[in-house]
Amino acid sequence: DTGVSQNPRHKITKRGQNVTFRCDPISEHNRLYWYRQTLGQGPEFLTYFQNEAQLEKSRLLSDRFSAERPKGSFSTLEIQRTEQGDSAMYLCASRDGGANEQFFGPGTRLTVL
């Protein structure tokens, strides 16, 4: 049994660079969520996919952020022109369509220098 996986686990980049993270949900989970967590805070919702359709985006998701789930399986989150304020843990969660419980991956920790 494989849970939610995320890659890379850690990413260090310089301000202004673009970064891309990948999330592989639990197989057959057609709902996928991205959250962002900063130090000392709980995760905050970024965006939500049902299959390949992006159904909801938070106002936290500025135009420098883009997320895709092209075949309804894995998802990518890209941040363009990174800023120091983007430093955070980026978490992916998935759930089955008939259930409410969300299961999280290990996260990708981004550090922007």
Partner 1 sequence: QKEVEQDPGPLSVPEGAIVSLNCTYSNSAFQYFMWYRQYSRKGPELLMYTYSSGNKEDGRFTAQVDKSSKYISLFIRDSQPSDSATYLCAMNTGFQKLVFGTGTRLLVSP
Size, binding site for partner 1 by CB under 8 A: 24
Which of 12, 17, 44, 64 forms a contact with partner 1 (CB under 8 A)?
Answer: 44
Does residue number 101 form part of the binding site for partner 1 (CB under 8 A)? yes
Measure CA 111 to chain center: 15
Does residue number 105 form part of the binding site for partner 1 (CB under 8 A)? yes
Q: How far is the CB of 104 from partner 1 (least distance, A)?
A: 4
How many residues appear in the chain? 113
Across 25-113, where does the E strand assignment appear?
31-37, 44-50, 53-57, 65-68, 75-79, 88-95, 103-104, 108-112
Contact positions vs partner 1 (CB under 8 A): 4, 6, 33, 35, 40-45, 48, 56, 89, 91, 93, 100-107, 109
